[in-house]
């Protein structure tokens, strides 16, 4: 589901009124331009490929994977046909190859029903996703925000969020999860929107 214009308007008004620091960030960054990713399977593949490597390296590997299956589209059925060795030839680590195969298997046998995730609560979506090897809470949170358009997700362990909070709120060191949770109380129920502005403030 996409973020609606009405939701974003309400979120911006709330953040401006509830937190003076966030009010400045909204002014600094400008309009909220995040668009959700419609292809849920592709979003999870992208998340797995991007773990612990630079954005540029992840894009390169993702493109190699897409080139290797062309003209077919990215799908669980197609990726399940790859061997670990074939993934390795593309530049995907053995560990991530295992993750992609496990994701494809669980989507194919409907252990993970991607089409139904939008009807579930945030907690239930997370529970469904973390049964896949290589998908943890952080990846589930990114999926909730960037694929399902959930408004109140707070990725307290994300390094970018920690850096942005430290910078914007004049902290001497990176905050831990408890500190971020406390600082974020005024953002609720629009923590996802606030998080996006924090990420953008680092650019």
* 106 lies in the same domain as 157: no
134 shares a domain with 78? yes
Residues of the chain with pLDDT below 50 are: none
Contacts of 64 (CB under 8 A, 6+ apart): 90, 91
Please report, for the domain that includes residue 116, its CATH number.
1.10.340.30
Q: Which range marks the domain in which residue 16 is found?
A: 5-35+152-201
Q: What is the CATH number of the domain that holds 160?
A: 1.10.1670.40
Q: Does one domain contain both 131 and 52?
A: yes
pLDDT given at position 2: 77
* Unique residue bearing structure tokens 């589901």: 1
Q: Read out DSSP for 78-126?
A: HHTT--HHHHHHHT--HHHHHHHHHHHHHHHTTSS-GGGGGGS-HHHHH
Task: Work out the burial of residue 143: count CB atoms within 10 Å of its CB; fewer than 13 is exposed, 13-18 middle, 19 or more buried.
Answer: buried
pLDDT at 55: 80
pLDDT of residue 174: 96
Same domain, 29 and 106: no
How much is the pLDDT for 51? 86
Specify whether 47 is located in the same domain as 106. Answer: yes
Kindly state whether residues 53 and 75 are assigned to the same domain. Answer: yes
Let me know whether 67 and 31 are in one domain. Answer: no
Is the pTM for the entire model greater than 0.75?
yes
Contacts of residue 98, defined as CB under 8 A and 6 or more positions apart, other chains included, come to 84, 133, 134
Total count of domains within the chain: 2
Same structural domain, 82 and 136: yes
Given 100, 116, 146, the domain boundary residue is 146
Q: Does residue 85 sit in the same domain as residue 131?
A: yes
| The pLDDT value given to residue 54 | 82
Last residue of a domain, one of 99, 122, 146: 146
What three-state secondary structure class fits 162? helix
Evaluate the CA torsion angle 201, 156, 114, 109 in order and state its sign: positive
pLDDT score of 53: 81
The reply to whether 48 and 129 lie within a common domain is: yes
- 197 in the same domain as 137: no
- Do 61 and 106 lie in one domain? The reply is yes
């Amino acid at each position: 589901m996409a973020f609606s214009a009405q939701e974003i308007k309400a979120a911006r008004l709330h953040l401006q009124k509830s937190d003076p620091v966030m009010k400045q960030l909204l002014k600094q960054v400008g309009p909220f331009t995040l668009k959700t990713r419609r292809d849920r399977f592709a979003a999870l593949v992208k998340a797995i490929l991007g773990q612990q490597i630079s954005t540029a390296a992840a894009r390169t590997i993702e493109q190699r994977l897409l080139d290797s299956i062309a003209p077919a589209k990215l799908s669980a059925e197609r990726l399940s046909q790859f061997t670990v060795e074939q993934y390795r030839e593309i530049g995907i680590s053995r560990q991530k190859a295992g993750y992609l195969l496990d994701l494809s298997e669980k989507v194919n046998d409907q252990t993970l029903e991607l089409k139904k995730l939008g009807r579930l609560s945030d907690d239930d979506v997370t529970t469904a996703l973390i049964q896949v090897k290589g998908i943890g809470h952080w990846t589930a949170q990114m999926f909730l925000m960037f694929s399902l358009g959930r408004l109140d997700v707070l990725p307290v362990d994300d390094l970018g969020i920690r850096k942005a909070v430290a910078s914007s709120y004049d902290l001497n060191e990176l905050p831990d999860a408890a500190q971020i949770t406390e600082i974020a109380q005024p953002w609720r129920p629009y923590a996802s929107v606030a998080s996006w502005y924090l990420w953008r403030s680092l650019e």
